[in-house]
Amino acid sequence: VGDSGVLEFAGGSFRVTSAAAAGRCVLHVGKVERGSLAVGQSVTAKVDPSRMDTMRNHTATHLLNWALREVLGEHVNQAGSVVAPDRLRFDFTHNQAVTAEQLADVERRVNERVLADESVEVQTLPLAEARQIPGVRAVFGERYPDPVRVVVAGRGGASPSAEFCGGTHLDRTGQVALFKIVAEESVAKGVRRITAVTGRQAVAHVQNADAVLRACSLALRVPAEQVPERIEALQKEIKSLKKRPIAAAGGQEFQAQVAAETPAGKVLVGDAGTADAAAMRTLCDVQRQKGAAAVLLGGAEDGKVTL
C-alpha cells in the first residue's frame, strides 16, 4: 500500500493519496489543494502518520513468516502478501490446515519477539553477498536488484529474521505493540492464508472479543470461562429435545381453546405452543388419530407466527 500525505511548497500544497513505483521513480498520485506546481519546484514531503500502522503490519509480517517456519517447518514459503494500515494478510505454502494449537504457538512466538523489543536493521548489500546471509528469505520467482535491500529483525539473537525487502519498517519490534491472528483459511491447493492485526487494530479486536464474551456470559448466567461448557450443554439439550416424539410431548399436553361438535366430528382450535410448522403438523396428526375431524392450530415464537 503506497504512502499518503502532503507535498508542501511555497504558496501551496499537493495532497498525496497514493504512491507507486515506476522504474527508478516514485509517482505521487493526488491533487493540488492550494497554489500551483511547476517543473523544478522544491517541495517538502510529509508522510501521513497512519503510515506507522502500515509499518507495524509490515515488520509483523516478517516476524510471522519466521514464526510459521519455526512451527510448521522449513517448507513454508511466502505465496502472497498484503500490508495495509488496518491489517496484514500473508499467504504461504502448507498442505494442511493449521491447527488451533499451532496458530496459538505462532502468535505467541511473534509476540515474544515484539516484547523482546529487538532492533530492525536495514542494509543495502551486493546481491551475491546478501544471498549468503544465514536464513535469508526471498520470494520465489521475484527478480531482485543488485545491490539489494535486506531487512533484519533481531540481529545477534538466536534466530533472526532476514528478508530481501524494499518496504518501510519499524526501528524496533516493540513498536508493533501487539500481534493478533484473526483468521486462517485455505485459498488454493497447498496454499493457506493468515489475516492478522497489530497495534491499535489489535487492541480494538481484543476489546471487541472481550465485549462479546461478556455478553455471552451475562446471557448464559455463567462466568466467562464456563461459556464454552454451558454452550455445549445447551447444544446437547437441544439435540435431545429434537429427538423427543411430538406425540409424547406436545400431543398429550395440548389443550384446545375451542372444541366444537359437528356432524363430521369434533373440531379443535388451540395454541400449539410452538411456531415450528413440522411440529404443528405432527400435533394435528396426533389429534386426528384421537378422533378429531379437523384441527386449527396457531403458534407464535420469537416474533414468528404460524397457522
Residue 244 has pLDDT above 70, yes or no: no
Q: Where would I find the H helices in the chain?
A: 51-72, 100-115, 127-130, 199-220, 227-243, 252-253, 277-289
Lowest-confidence region among 11-15, 46-50, 95-99, 176-180: 46-50
pLDDT at 254 exceeding the cut of 80: no
What confidence category does residue 307 fall into, taking pLDDT thresholds of 50, 70 and 90? very high
Mean pLDDT along residues 289-302: 90
State the pairing for strand pair 120-125/88-93.
Answer: unpaired
Q: State the pLDDT confidence band at 276, using cuts at 50, 70 and 90.
A: confident
Task: Report the Cα 27 to chain-centroid distance in Å.
Answer: 32
Sign of the dihedral defined by the CA atoms of residues 109, 113, 114, 115, in that order: positive
CA dihedral 247, 253, 258, 260 (to 10 degrees): 50
Beta strands at 88-93 and 191-198: parallel, antiparallel or unpaired: antiparallel
- At 237, phi and psi to the nearest 5? -65, -45
Are 59 and 176 in contact by the 8 Å Cβ rule? The answer is yes
Region 85-96 average pLDDT: 95
All three cell numbers of 119: 532492533
What 8-state DSSP symbol labels residue 97? P
Percent of all residues in the chain with a pLDDT value above 70, rounded to a whole number: 95
Lookup: cell for 2: 503506497
Q: What is the pTM of this model?
A: 0.73
- Name the residue with cell 530492525: 120
Average pLDDT over residues 249-277: 82
Q: What is the pLDDT of residue 223?
A: 95
pLDDT at residue 27 above 80? yes
